[in-house]
Amino acid sequence: MLRRQLFKSQNFRRLHTQASNTSRSLARHRPLTLYTSLAISAGALWYSLAHPVFADAPPLVLPESFAPLQGDDIATGELEDGSITGVVWGSNKNNVISPDHPEVDLIQRPAASKWLQKVALRDLALHEAHGACVDARGDVYQWGTGFYGKSTSQANLPQMTLSGKNIASLQVTESRVFALSLSGKIYVLASSREQQRPCEQSPTEGIWGLGSIGIRQKSPVDYVELSTNTPLSWGEKFVSISAGQDHVLALTSSGRTFSYASTKKANSHGQLGYRKFDLPASVTQTKSTTRIPVELLPKLAKDPYSRASPFIRELASSSADPLEAIDDRHIRFSDTLFEIQSLQGIKVSQVAAGSRSSFVLTDSGRALGFGANEYGQMGLGSNVTLDSIAVPTEIVLSRNVPPSTSTKCLEIAAGGNLTCFVAERTGLSTGKFVDVLVCGNGQWGGLGNNVFTTSQGNPTRARNVSGLKEYNEKLGTSSPIVPHGISISPTGHILLSLDTRHEGSGRDLVVWGLNQDYQLGTGRKSSLAVPTMIEKPDGKRFMLVDKKALVDDLLGRSYGKVLVQQHAVAGYGNSVIYWKIC
């Protein structure tokens, strides 16, 4: 026992001696160690300041023809000489926002676009791989890899495809371009140049848009003028159109609502508003007199147990499908607009189409919806869990306000799986104010309520753009700030301009949602769940303005001096601000 204790004490003394020697050695070298640590820290600090590391990708080097946004003039789409220009940012993989520079795939910050310099448009519509616009003379132009083909690598500027029809507005789908004329007629064009063929119409049809000259000229390519299944009244015409993924809604001047089947999937969720209609028997004939009856059943009607079944089942077909042999990518797949019978007798003031959903706004301020609802984009509340709504159903926007407050819907905007409702509230104590209510798939922050959620059935208030008021000097009182324009991308980002012109400086541009391709214009890649104002390089607000300017058409011919205003369009991973003729 004594020997064991002695052994332990000797080991302890040995360890103590080693530790003491180590401490004396460290004490002798402590200044050198301290100086070395300071030198390393100083070097690391200098390198971090000289070579900063950001979470986002480094800025891309753009061609010299891209005007960098440095001053106030360029930042608002105005050049130093007073001329106007378009502003673009986001993805350019399909040469949609910058067709004159196919070598540029991504534009991280808003940049002036040369192909829109001195150009004012009547309308602009963007799809994933192709775009279309109407110039000042009412002619339609198309471009993009979806139009020219992916094999081309050279700069292909917009090409005229429809002239002499005095077009006012456009809507695009994957395979078609829909053009609405000022006379109320709707024309259909193929989105691909490969599928377009020379026009077979009479050379005397149409008027070349040369102001008052009135030279008659045929359209460059073939098109289809849509008819209706029921005749329009005397003086009645179509005044607006809205396209989803596979269907189109059309509104007449008397408030009647029609829909159009663009493909065989046009009624996958009941978004057409009807099931039975007829189609031309042949897509090769210019005017086919033989028609075939068809019935497009929604998925839920075909298989009510599709969600409950853990496997895919082959459904038995009682008869051969008449649509199987018909090519639905051809512009003559369908040539007729059919009136929605369930909306007969209801005067509608606006139509809006999401990807697979449909919405109408009545003249009394009531919102109705039908179609896809798996993300709650119908806005029918959290208790409605149906994937599709085949019958127009009223959307209640007064759930989260006191009973003493009346609610009226002013506008509906839809895109992809998101829906915006602009609601006017009037209360005894709060007065009048306006809310922007959003529902649907907010996975990337598209709801604007600072929450990322994949499903929102109850329309929720978007922050920073709801309940705003400003003092109106003309009226001498505070008035609500109403959204001037809302554009929702099918991929999940939103551009909204606020009608703040009473301040005299313009309309604020607010953005939120998906931002993987820098489509929000903030210069960073992170998505935003709260509406945020875009800032200029000098820190000021990015505002959309109106002005009188000398404009040209897309052929470079002078059109004259007209009143134009900036409009924002949200595309597939990109955004464009163009000057629109008022």
Residue 450: pLDDT over 60: yes
What distance in Å separates the CA atoms of residue 258 and residue 337, rounded to the nearest whole number? 6
- pLDDT band at residue 47 using 50, 70 and 90 as cut-offs: low
Q: Supply φ then ψ for residue 28, to 5 degrees.
A: -65, -35
Separation of alpha carbons 191 and 320, rounded Å: 30
Mean pLDDT calculated for residue range 521-548: 89
Q: CA–CA separation, 541 vs 518, rounded Å?
A: 18
pLDDT at 70 over 50: no
| Per-residue pLDDT at 88 | 95
What is the total residue count of the chain? 582
pLDDT for residue 245 is more than 90: yes
Average pLDDT, integer, range 419-425 = 97
Out of 14-23, 143-152, 335-344, give the one with best mean pLDDT.
335-344
Domain boundaries, the chain: 121-302+324-554
Q: Are 575 and 90 in contact (CB under 8 A)?
A: yes
Given a contact cutoff of 8 angstroms between Cβ atoms, the answer to whether 152 and 224 are in contact is no
Q: Is the pLDDT of residue 441 over 80?
A: yes
pLDDT higher than threshold 90 for residue 252: yes
298: Cα separation from own chain's centroid: 26
**pLDDT of amino acid 140:** 97
Whether residue 566 contacts residue 509, with contact meaning beta carbons closer than 8 Å, is answered with no
Percent over 70 (pLDDT), the chain: 78
**CATH domain 121-302+324-554 topology:** Methylamine Dehydrogenase; Chain H (2.130.10)
pLDDT of amino acid 42: 57
Cα–Cα separations (whole angstroms), residue 189 to 10, 142, 160, 281: 99, 10, 12, 19
Q: What are the residues facing 132 on neighbouring strands?
A: 125, 142
Using DSSP bridges, classify how beta strands 543-544 and 558-570 pair: parallel, antiparallel or unpaired: unpaired
pLDDT at 311: 60
- Cβ proximity of 437 and 447 under 8 Å: no
Phi, psi dihedrals of residue 139, rounded to the nearest 5°: -95, 150
Q: Tell me the pLDDT of the chain averaged across its residues.
A: 84
Tens digits of per-residue pLDDT, 545-561? 999 999 999 999 999 99
Q: Give me the sheet containing 431-442, strands edge to edge.
A: 406-415, 418-427, 431-442, 453-461
pLDDT 10s digits, 286-339: 666 788 999 998 887 777 776 666 566 665 555 567 777 788 889 999 999 999
DSSP one-letter code for 56: S
CB 467, CB 435: distance < 8 Å: yes
pLDDT over 50 (residue 576): yes
| Choice between 144 and 303, residue whose per-residue pLDDT is larger | 144
Q: What pLDDT was estimated at residue 7?
A: 39
- 295 Cβ neighbours under 8 A, 6+ residues apart: 275, 276
pLDDT value of residue 309:
61
pLDDT in tens, 208-238: 333 333 334 556 788 999 999 999 999 999 9
Mean pLDDT (whole number) for 186-202: 82
